[in-house]
Amino acid sequence: MQAGQDPLEKVVCETTVEIKNADGLHMRPAMQFVDVANKFNCDIIVSNSENTVDGKSIMQMTMLAATCGTKLMIKAEGADAQIAIDALRELVEKKHFDEPLPGDRKE
């Protein structure tokens, strides 16, 4: 088997993201995360310092109780792992779930 040629070869990607929005990973952001994760075929697991959960399960994601400033490790395994990781990173860090940052004034 030629390395890097097999389309079924397991691609594994890992990254660490930081929760930026002030309210943390409460249910609505967790749902956004799960929605994005479920667009991909790869397996996605997410860990904090204590738990590792299925990134495609809303119940499990809510269990992370990731507050603002928490770092989460995302690991994706499968052919589309890299684009999945990129999309999740954008959601968490760049778009911060379209929620206010700690410095933003509340209405």
Using CB under 8 A, list all residues that contact another protein: 22-28, 31, 58-60, 62-68
Smallest separation (angstroms) from another protein to the CB of 58: 6
Torsion, Cα of 22, 84, 57, 70 (10° steps)? -30
How far is it, in rounded angstroms, from Cα 79 to Cα 84? 10
Smallest separation (angstroms) from another protein to the CB of 79: 27
Nearer to another protein, 23 or 80 (CB): 23
How far is it, in rounded angstroms, from Cα 17 to Cα 70? 8
Smallest separation (angstroms) from another protein to the CB of 24: 5
Nearer to another protein, 23 or 43 (CB): 23
Q: Which entry of 26, 57, 78, 87 is annotated as an active-site residue?
A: 26
Q: How many CB atoms lie within 10 A of CB 92?
A: 25
Nearer to another protein, 63 or 79 (CB): 63
Q: Which of 68, 80, 66 is nearest to 37 (CA)?
A: 80
Is 26 one of the annotated active-site residues of the chain? yes
Token representation of residue 27 = 């249910």
Catalytic residue positions? Answer: 26
